Amino acid sequence: MNNNRFADNRAWFLVLPATLLVAFSSLIPFIAVVNYSLQIVFNMNTHSFVGWSTFHDALTNEEFRGALGRQVLFTAIVLAIEVPLGIGVALTMPRSGRAVGPIMVVLALPLLVPWNVVGLIWQIFARGDIGLFGAFVNNVLHINYNYATGSVSAWFTVVLMSVWHWTSLIALLCYAGLCAIPGAFYQAARIDGASRWAVFRFIELPKLRGVLTIAILLRFVYSFKVYAEPLTVTGGGPGSSTTFMTEMLTNTAIGQFAYGKAAAYGLLYFLIILLISYVFYIVLTRVGTSEGDQ
Amino acid sequence: MTIRRICLTLFILFLLIPIYWLVMMSFKSNTEITSQLTFFPKDWTLVHYHDIFNSGKWTGSFLHSLSYVALNVAITLPLAIPAAYAFSRYDFLADKHLFFWFLTNLMAPPAVFLIPYFQLYHSIHLFDTVYAVALAHTLFNLPLAVWILEGFMSGVPREIDETAYLDGYSLPRFFIKIFLPLIGSGIGVAAFFCFMFSWIELLLANTLTSSNAMPFATMMSSAFTASGTDWGILAAAGTLTLIPGVLVIWFVRHRIASGFALGRV
């Protein structure tokens, strides 16, 4: 939001319809979730108020802490791979020419695949019997690889799938940021005899700060909400080795019908995402006002 | 220069080979899929596509998916455009708080809301309709559209608004005649992103429907049966889900990145 705007409270009429619909979609369910989180729900008509004990249970529960730990590890691994790789891909892309359009389409393609189909693609690609990749690793590299029985294989598959699915997002954003750098900056660097690394470190990286913040924020949130892709491929297994937060939550709510517990888990989950997103938001709005943005 | 090109080519191959494998598998017979690994179908067959197009359940579920996506875009944009204009041009009570609250809904994990959604849409008799899914997807699409549009609108100089008002334009007339054409590409990008996030979402769509409005993704899980998995029909169905994305992506290919950057590049 820019700073010199008309002061006029009648603008509320413009945001009112959107606010009402978002309130309907989020505020009413949110109140219901808070209500459930304080109760043990036996069925839709029988429940008893238990107060904060569900939250206390959640924090000491092995299931919750296990899923949260795996979730944090997964998010850390995929961010550590996808962010540098995405920047790297953006740097290799041509800035102009006829190839740009098709390259953009190919890069964006994985982002437009429904999430269960991403899982399907990797399932049939990584299976040892019918999958090209699984057969290659097992028969050509002679590495014992089966994502259904080995938890290392399962993690490798889930991480590789995430890299396939989402690296393009970071690459596309960084590419747009790189294209916005005026040519004069590069000319000045050439006159000064700057190395390729110096150009990246002192010209490109600072100019990418704005887009990178958005990219990392979106990647953090989406990796933290990951659900259908690992579920389709590994079913959360072997055991519960690839069961992440959303799957643990739906198992608790729909599998075990433990609404109260699921609601408490869900609120904590939401709170964690919100806290980290708030930090990002503060950084984001700062970036928006500094000269480094455009 | 050549090293760059090789790296980029390798990455593009990494993106394309799994998709290639899916598409090729959809043209193989089930015996060929399970008996041998072939880079290219030995006997091209359209039997899986034939099965899908001749099954009312498959085609019906594809139409359900398309209709809740289209409905969602039709609900989201008319509400998001005025809201984004207000955030971009006016200073009003609690504007920053409201904007952040919108943002939190983009971040919210839908799994948290599963049970209340199920009950809410049951109680207003919209359960198992495409309207339920279209409304539920506004949870994240409306904030996203507001955010993208606000970015694009803030890129239009405020002097244009002021000049138009001095020329005697009213707000609605200025908005329709001058402002909307100026941010046309931003609206296109916002529509694309609403389409995309509604099309790829599964959890809410799955929870809010049963047989009457079953989405395509749910229909796909019916191919996993106790007697074995029908890989051919799954591959064909997966290939079909790629088509709408490929069709719309070409129109926004130069603006995808600015959309993901929420109109800020």
In a domain, B63, yes or no: yes
CA atoms of B113 and B210, how far apart (whole Å): 18
Instruction: Return the number of CB contacts < 8 Å for A and B.
Output: 293
Chain A hits for B79, Cβ within 8 Å: 17-18, 21
For the record, the structure tokens of B116 come out as 């209340």
Same domain flag for B157 and B35 = no
Q: Do residues A17 and B82 touch, judged by C-beta distance below 8 A?
A: yes
CA atoms of A237 and A243, how far apart (whole Å): 7
CATH of the domain at B255: 1.10.3720.10
Place of tokens 């591959």: B235
Chain A hits for B107, Cβ within 8 Å: 221, 273-274, 277
Chain A hits for B5, Cβ within 8 Å: 92
**Is B236 an 8 Å CB contact of chain A?**
no
Chain B hits for A11, Cβ within 8 Å: 86, 89-90, 92, 95
In a domain, A22, yes or no: no
Sign of CA dihedral B173, B178, B179, B181: positive
pLDDT at residue A278 tops 90: no
pLDDT of res. A294? 38
Confidence of residue A4 (pLDDT cuts 50, 70, 90): low
Contact B8 A93 (CB under 8 A): yes
Q: Which of A122, A209, A223, A215 is nearest to A164 (CA)?
A: A122
pLDDT of res. B55? 86
Chain B hits for A135, Cβ within 8 Å: 37
pLDDT in tens, A44-71: 556 666 667 777 777 777 888 888 999 9
* Closest Cα in chain A, distance from residue B212 (Å): 21
The partner residue sitting opposite B203, judged by closest CB among A14, A130, A228, is A228
Residues 42-61 of B with CB under 8 A from A: none
pLDDT at residue A164 tops 90: yes
In a domain, A231, yes or no: yes
pLDDT at residue B241 tops 70: yes
In a domain, A135, yes or no: no
For the record, the structure tokens of A241 come out as 């080795």
Same domain flag for B10 and B74 = no
Same domain flag for B35 and B104 = no
pLDDT of res. A158? 93
pLDDT at residue A171 tops 80: yes
CA atoms of A243 and A250, how far apart (whole Å): 11
In a domain, A235, yes or no: yes
Give the contacts of A29 (CB within 8 A, at least 6 positions apart): B113, B116, B117, B120
Find the residue in B nearest to A103 (Cα). B12
Say whether the peptide bond before residue B109 is cis (omega within 30 degrees of 0): no
pLDDT of res. A233? 86
Same domain flag for B9 and B79 = no
Find the residue in A nearest to B139 (Cα). A25
- Integer CA distances (angstroms), A61 to A56, A69, A175, B187, B228, in order: 8, 12, 44, 46, 36
Phi, psi (degrees; rounded to nearest 5) at B253: -55, -35
pLDDT of res. A3? 56
pLDDT of res. B222? 77
Phi, psi (degrees; rounded to nearest 5) at A5: -115, 160
Structural domain of residue B142, as residue ranges? 55-260
Domain tally, chain A: 1
pLDDT of res. A102? 86
CATH of the domain at A45: 1.10.3720.10
pLDDT at residue A15 tops 70: yes
Confidence of residue B226 (pLDDT cuts 50, 70, 90): low
Residues 94-153 of B with CB under 8 A from A: 95-96, 98-117, 119-120, 135-136, 138-139, 142-143, 146, 150
pLDDT in tens, A192-250: 888 888 988 888 888 888 788 878 888 888 899 888 888 888 888 788 888 888 888 88
Instruction: Map residue A7 onto helix, strand or coil.
Output: strand
In a domain, A203, yes or no: yes
pLDDT at residue A1 tops 60: no
Best interface-test mutation with B: which of A19, A120, A207, A274 has the largest number of B CBs within 10 A?
A120
* Closest Cα in chain A, distance from residue B26 (Å): 11
- In chain A, pLDDT over 70 holds for what percent of residues? 90
Same domain flag for B11 and B124 = no
pLDDT in tens, A105-129: 899 899 889 888 899 899 889 888 8
The partner residue sitting opposite B112, judged by closest CB among A19, A124, A270, is A270
Structural domain of residue A258, as residue ranges? 32-118+167-289
Task: Please return the burial class of B205, using the count of CB atoms within 10 Å of its CB with bins 0-12, 13-18 and 19+.
Answer: buried
Q: Which of B65, B31, B17 is nearest to B230 (CA)?
A: B31
pLDDT of res. A83? 93
pLDDT of res. B262? 67
Same domain flag for B61 and B20 = no
Confidence of residue B133 (pLDDT cuts 50, 70, 90): very high
Mean pLDDT for all residues in chain B: 87
For the record, the structure tokens of B177 come out as 């005649």
Give the contacts of A229 (CB within 8 A, at least 6 positions apart): A115, A116, A118, A119, A122, A158, A161, A162, A165
Same domain flag for B154 and B40 = no
Cα Rg of chain B (Å, integer): 23
Find the residue in A nearest to B262 (Cα). A214
In a domain, B265, yes or no: no
Phi, psi (degrees; rounded to nearest 5) at A61: -75, 135
pLDDT in tens, A223-238: 998 888 888 888 887 8
Q: Do residues B188 and A235 touch, judged by C-beta distance below 8 A?
A: no
Contact A120 B103 (CB under 8 A): no
Q: Which of B215, B218, B158 is nearest to B182 (CA)?
A: B158
Domain tally, chain B: 2
Same domain flag for B225 and B170 = yes
The pLDDT of B68-76, averaged and rounded, is: 95
pLDDT of res. A45? 59
Q: Do residues B219 and B177 touch, judged by C-beta distance below 8 A?
A: no
pLDDT of res. A293? 41
pLDDT at residue B93 tops 70: yes
CA atoms of B237 and B223, how far apart (whole Å): 10
pLDDT in tens, A82-104: 999 999 999 998 888 888 888 88
CA atoms of A275 and A76, how far apart (whole Å): 17
Number of H helices, E strands in chain A: 15, 3
pLDDT in tens, B175-214: 888 899 888 888 888 888 899 889 988 888 988 998 888 8
* Closest Cα in chain A, distance from residue B52 (Å): 16
Confidence of residue A291 (pLDDT cuts 50, 70, 90): very low
